[in-house]
Structure 1
Amino acid sequence: MDRRRFLGTAGLAGASATLAMPAIAQGNEKVQWRMTSSFPPSLDTIFGGGQDVAKYVREATNGAFDIQVFSAGEIVPGLQAADAVQNGTVEMCHTAAYYYVGKSPTWALGAVIPYGLDNRGMNAWLYYGGGMDLLNAFYNENGLHYLPAGNTGTQMGGWFRREIGSLEDMKGLQMRIAGLAGRVMEQIGVVPQQIAGGDIYPALERGTIDAAEWIGPYDDEKLGFYQVAPYYYYPGFWEGNLALNCFINKQAWDGLSDTNRYVLETACRAANTEMMAEYDFKNPTALRSLVTNGAQLRAFPEDVLNATYDATLQLYSDLKGSDPSWGKIYDSMMAFQAEHFLWQQVAESTFAQFMQNKQKQGQLPAQRGQ
């Protein structure tokens, strides 16, 4: 399916919805909204998630519901997108909820938390495990309505100017890292920095920072990090997935007709599916290209993973004791996490491991010329 085209029937992430286009178009009032993105157009996959939502809504209503998309910086800086929605500057934004943990750590639960869920687990919890209802009970108090609208999948651990041999090598590093992950990294001696995507390369090049995480091979190659920080680490344990989302001004959301709310919800589900599929298609080619051009793949040392896992659990314990908005949503997510990874061990992981071993052995059909 063309990712820039939304037709009348959409099979979406555990749900399907059929939109009767003529009936919707004839019955809809004219609505014109503005959406500000946290991302630049050069990051076409992640910025494209917001464009997809707008296009799908426009096509489903024959233009009666029109959303104009603005890139980061055109109306407000990327990290102020949710603020612009809260204060009514725009009706909605496309962003990552964890950019706003300065308001409350609970904001991160709508995006991703360190050592949390993967993409499939996040969607299952959001759509079927009560996650969206719990999150909206929180975000509604902040004048917003939340809809998932994209996912990057498990991310890479980022680019480092020098090799990391052990936990000791992490101490004192200045690292661009967002969300609660920064608080985790502080516990092992890293100095976190929150820097917008377009400013990361010059900071690495000048040595203002020693390391930076962004997303994964496709986007990272576009930003050229391998040229100034060649060591490419994995996994991004702080982002087992990243749920991008639309925040909608609560008053504007309540003012929509039932039909337009349904169309917007369905468009966001379609964008959620499309973004993950596109990343899964583009990342393998980009990773090969990065390695060809000098990127050096490295796994994080085991002591780094163990130390950050322990620090993460301590952080969550502290948050449950200090932030009353955190506990109910976190407990729901973690209860599902235990069941999700149990199920993953049975079929998904064993199949994936077998096939990955065949790939390493050069035994897949394409590798054997079959």
Structure 2
Amino acid sequence: MKRRDFLKVTGAGLAASTAVAAPAIAQSAPEVKWRLAASWPKALDTLYGGCEYFCKRVAEVTDNKFQIQPFAAGEIVPGLQVLDAVSNGTVEMGNTALYYYWGKNPAFTFGTSLPFGLNTRAHISWLLFGGGTELLNGLLKEYNTVGIPTGSTGAQMGGWFRKEIKSMEDFKGLKFRVGGFAGTIIAKVGGVPQQIAGGDIYPALEKGTIDAAEWVGPYDDEKLGFVKVAKFYYYPGWWEGTGQGHNIMNLDKWNALPKHYQAAIEMASRDTFTWVTGKYDYVNPPALKRLLVAGAILKPFPQEVLEACYAAANEIYADLSKTNPHFAKMYTSLSAFRNESLAWMQVAELSYDSFMMRMRTRT
């Protein structure tokens, strides 16, 4: 065959193959628009900002073919009704803290933070490699949803109190806004837990409807103004050694997505974990300093309080494990991992951090 004839043939073949491939590519990358309902008000620019970052990343990696629009708490549904909205298809997905739904099943607390459970690094490790996500998705499937871990707040503070906590007696009758499953422990030691969405905490604390409230940590607490209405700022938030958020998707909508769009959500969720957690670690230290200048009185929970709450928590876990299969599986899995993780972190992280904290005062 002459060179000129060969070029004509191959050119025609290339044109034909391109004509076939183009529609196939178009079909595999359809334009999809979703809505994301968040549990966070816009004022929380790290939690809600993480939702905006996530949506932007999904659009970027899909050449803007997959668009997800975020909505703050209250814009479509209240912050504590995100799971219901995703489950029934009101929205395609949501960003929330799964422990808000412990009333549906106490095992949801494992998605966000089990009181006296894991710190941030250990928790994401358990979710990704220790079977935690698979166990949670077994529960979420009962609500026609599927979940992927996203941004985490890190270890949280113990909250704002209108009066000083000196002993367990001070918890008797204390009306305490506390998120998720931790309320069952507060109730067991004599407190009166209240579950209130973030945007409603300040007026309740200001009016004295509640006596104390926890939210996240210095940066977000400063934004919500709690130091103006309650001065005693306690630590640690033993109910949240981490504050793990989740993206949850309607299972039918998720299964209908092209595989590479599912991969885009998975990738962007993990990017968002780094973005949210990294930002909190950056903004919390200066925020704590500002709160102290503004009049916050920083206090550790007394050892008596920590140990009493720890004992109460373990009693509740033992009882639930007898009657709730989801809880029993997750508690067995997380407890075994926690023992191994703490042994390792005591050797490496704790010894290093403790030394550096001591040296901080010498430089």
Same fold (TM over 0.5): yes
Structure 1 distance, partners of 2:335, 2:52, is 32
Structure 1 runs of 4+ off > 4 angstroms?
Answer: 24-27
Q: Is the 8 A contact 2:28 2:258 kept in 1?
A: no
Alignment correspondent of 1:157: 158
Does 1:85 pair with 2:86? yes
1:75 aligns with 2:76: yes
Deviations 1:246-285 (A, max 9, x none): 1100001111111111111000000011111000000000
Higher fraction of helix: 2
Q: Which amino acid aligns with 2:136?
A: L
Which residue type is aligned with residue 337 of structure 1? R
Q: Which residue of 2 aligns with 1:287?
A: 288
Alignment of 1:193-342 (within 5 A): 193-342=194-343
Shift of the alpha carbon at 1:141?
Answer: 2.1
* Counterpart contact for 1:50–1:149, Cα < 8 Å: no
**Residue identity opposite 1:125 in structure 2:** W
Partner Cα separation in structure 2 for residue 49 and residue 307 of structure 1: 36
SS in 2 for 1:286: helix
Aligned length in residues? 340
Deviation at 1:71, TM superposition (A): 0.6
Instruction: Supply the distance in 2 between the matched residues of 1:219 and 1:127 (Cα, whole angstroms).
Output: 27
**CA RMSD across the alignment:** 1.3
Between the aligned partners of 1:74 and 1:209, the Cα distance in structure 2 is 26
1:44 aligned counterpart, secondary structure: coil
- Percent identity reads 50
Pair 1:55 & 2:53 matched: no
Q: TM-score, normalised by structure 1?
A: 0.90
Q: Give me the whole-angstrom Cα distance separating, in 2, the residues matched to 1:250 and 1:220.
A: 34
Q: Secondary structure at the match of 2:166?
A: coil
For structure 2, which runs of at least 5 residues remain unmatched after alignment?
1-24
In 2: Cα distance, 1:41 partner to 1:154 partner: 22
Contact 1:25 1:64 (C-alpha < 8 Å) held by counterparts: no
**One-letter code aligned to 2:108:** W
Tell me the distance in 1 between the aligned counterparts of 2:315 and 2:277: 31
Q: Deviations over 1:82-131 (max 9, x none)?
A: 10000000000000000011111011111111000000001111111111
2-structure distance, mates of 1:135, 1:199: 29
Match of 2:356 in 1: 355
Secondary structure of the corresponding residue to residue 110 of structure 2: helix
> 1-side partners of 2:275 and 2:316: how far apart?
33
Structure 2 length normalisation: TM-score? Answer: 0.92
**Equivalent residue number for residue 122 of structure 2:** 121
For the residues of structure 2 that align with 1:326 and 1:127, how far apart are their CA atoms?
18
Q: Secondary structure at the match of 1:165?
A: coil
Q: For 1:144 and 1:338, locate their aligned partners in 2 and report how far apart those are by CA, in whole Å.
A: 31
C-alpha distance in structure 1 between counterparts of 2:95 and 2:89, whole Å: 15
- Structure 1: unaligned runs, 5 residues or longer: 1-23, 365-370
The CA deviation at 1:26 is: 9.1
